[in-house]
Amino acid sequence: MSDFLFNHLLDDAHQCPIIVNGVACQVPEQLSVAAALLYLGHLANRQHPVSGELRGSYCHAGFCFECLVAIDGQANKRACLTQITPNMSINTALAGVN
């Protein structure tokens, strides 16, 4: 688990099992996928197609499309608008990189 600004709010949260890039993880159940990825220390989800710059969730409100990930086999889902569910499989475009 990474340092998370609001860790104290999550101390008593029930944990939810998810799979990120093939790795089984536990995260507080009330998080969005974007928040869960940050909670686990995944600051970037993909690389910019031209510059190669690492990109990660930015607005957390559905506007910027920087948070696109594959969820349960469906590509290009906005992580910030998706609530985690038990055993959800999440794949970033950086699987194996971070």
Tell me, letter by letter, the H, E, C secondary structure of the chain: CCCCCCHHHHCCCCEEEEEECCEEEEEECCCEHHHHHHHCCCCCCEECCCCCCEECCCCCCCCCCCCEEEECCEEEEEHHHCECCCCEEEECCCCCCC
Judged by beta carbon, residue 6 or residue 58, the one nearer ligand FES is 58
Question: Looking at 21-29, 40-48, 60-68, 69-77, which segment touches ligand FES (CB under 6 A)?
Answer: 60-68
Judged by beta carbon, residue 6 or residue 65, the one nearer ligand FES is 65
Shortest Cβ 11–ligand FES spacing (Å): 25
